[in-house]
Amino acid sequence: MTSDHPCIIIGAGAAGLMCAAHAGPGTLLIDHAAVPGEKIRISGGGRCNFTNLYCGPENFLSDNPHFAKSALARFTQWDFIDLVDRHAIAWHEKSLGQLFCDDSARQIVSMLRDEARRGGAVLRLGVSVAEIDHRDGQFVLTLSTGETATAPALVLATGGKSIPKMGATDFAYRVARQFGHRVTDTRPALVPLTLSGAPLEALKPLAGVSLPVRAACNGAGFDEALLFTHRGLSGPAVLQVSSYWREGDAVALDLLPGRDALAALRALRAEAGRKSPANALAALLPGRLAAHLGASLAPRGNMADLSDAALRDMAAALSDWRITPSGSEGYRTAEVTLGGVATDALDARSMESRNQPGLYVIGEAVDVTGWLGGYNFQWAWSSGWAAGTAI
């Protein structure tokens, strides 16, 4: 059996659902999962951090940092907030411009399903694509059901490789390559970093300790929380720098961000001179971390015994603690995939392929990766809208 459509979208996630709402009646939206938008449902601890008030092109990584500008400017965070408001979904700002649903991420999935239905799209779940051909101006898809589906427009919206347990695949990369596209190196991003050997043994007792820091790596720095884990380092600050980190690099941690560490230590020496450094540091840092650093930086004597030079060394250690991770937790826990279909052969306005007219690539599958904080969903909405309205 063959069905003809004006457009076929593969992947009913964030970008595919948004695209389906605008691609025109009769659009076929296919997903191999049993339900659409699963990553939306689990995102933001079940409340979906659906966009960011301060979203701009500077919040994204790509081989071409200009590529995301057009779509982000034409369908903005304000456009998505307007959509959310029209569906009467209550939301709040948590911090740093991050917007979350008051109730449930499921509301965002329902909203997008409604919008796609209203746009006349037909959703088919539990269906995968065995083969894609292009002849006589039509994409010809052989589906896992044995059916054939054809359309002059085909949208790749199958996302990246993160969380394979949820059905993530490299499908978009394979199809893009089939049509002559280059795929940049891909790696797990927004992911906890791991330690091994002596550094892991030294820091393992700190598992569970969390504090605000500035974490920096390869020119990028983030003022957010750090969390020590049984395997290494996590928390928003580390997830953010993980997108910039490469094997062998150290992550620099400022444990007293925005404070003059030497002045703070001098004040401690004056006020708590009879305390051990481990005890005194607890006024500045969580207790277990203070004990660990006090014992390793100044194992003997009290605060009053520390010379100016010793205080300076301690201040340097607190404001520029270098830790070299051995790896990351990988795609198993990474929120996103860094890299993807290279932007050089995509039209920034429409997401259409320059190699194969009628082929579009949107969302995480493209080499555009956002920071933590609602930016990746905004890219999915903006790129999905850009393709949908261009088709």
**Residue ranges that bind ligand FDA, judged by CB under 6 A:** 10-16, 31-33, 36, 38-39, 42-44, 48-49, 128-129, 157-159, 162-163, 167-169, 171, 335-336, 363-365, 374-377, 380
Q: Which helix (H) or strand (E) holds 336?
A: strand 336-338
In whole angstroms, the minimum distance from the beta carbon of 166 to ligand FDA comes to: 7
- For Cα atoms 121, 122, 124, give the angle at the middle one, nearest 5 degrees: 140
Letter string b/e over residues 64-94, b meaning 16 or more CB atoms within 10 A of that residue's CB: eeebbebbbeebbbeebbebbeeeebebeee
Toward ligand FDA, which CB reaches closer, 153 or 314?
Answer: 153
Toward ligand FDA, which CB reaches closer, 15 or 342?
Answer: 15
In whole angstroms, the minimum distance from the beta carbon of 67 to ligand FDA comes to: 15
In whole angstroms, the minimum distance from the beta carbon of 9 to ligand FDA comes to: 10
In whole angstroms, the minimum distance from the beta carbon of 264 to ligand FDA comes to: 34
Backbone angles phi, psi at 230, to 5 degrees: -65, -20
Instruction: Report the distance separating Cα 151 and Cα 140, nearest Å.
Output: 7
In whole angstroms, the minimum distance from the beta carbon of 124 to ligand FDA comes to: 10
Toward ligand FDA, which CB reaches closer, 87 or 322?
Answer: 87
Cβ-closest residue to ligand FDA?
A: 13
Query: DSSP for 50-98?
Result: EEETT--GGGEE-SSTTTTHHHHHHS-HHHHHHHHHHTT--EEE-STTE
Toward ligand FDA, which CB reaches closer, 251 or 365?
Answer: 365
Which residues, including other chains, have CB under 8 Å from residue 205's CB and lie 6 or more apart?
288, 292
In whole angstroms, the minimum distance from the beta carbon of 314 to ligand FDA comes to: 38
Instruction: Report the distance separating Cα 180 and Cα 196, nearest Å.
Output: 40
Residue 299, exposed/middle/buried by CB under 10 A (0-12, 13-18, 19+)? exposed
In whole angstroms, the minimum distance from the beta carbon of 102 to ligand FDA comes to: 15
Residue spans of beta strands (DSSP E) within 197-240: 210-217, 220-228, 232-234
Per the structure block, which two tokens stand in for 35?
């339900």
Which residues, including other chains, have CB under 8 Å from residue 28's CB and lie 6 or more apart?
3, 5, 7, 8, 9, 121, 122, 124, 149, 151
Instruction: Report the distance separating Cα 336 and Cα 309, nearest Å.
Output: 44
Toward ligand FDA, which CB reaches closer, 125 or 202?
Answer: 125
Closest among 189, 198, 192 to 210, alpha carbons compared: 192
In whole angstroms, the minimum distance from the beta carbon of 19 to ligand FDA comes to: 9
In whole angstroms, the minimum distance from the beta carbon of 192 to ligand FDA comes to: 12
Interhelix angle 308-319/287-297, rounded to 10 degrees, is 130
Cβ pair 77, 53 in contact under 8 A: yes
Toward ligand FDA, which CB reaches closer, 115 or 335?
Answer: 335
Toward ligand FDA, which CB reaches closer, 188 or 232?
Answer: 188
Toward ligand FDA, which CB reaches closer, 157 or 256?
Answer: 157
Toward ligand FDA, which CB reaches closer, 89 or 163?
Answer: 163
- Measured between its terminal Cα atoms, the distance across the chain in Å is 25
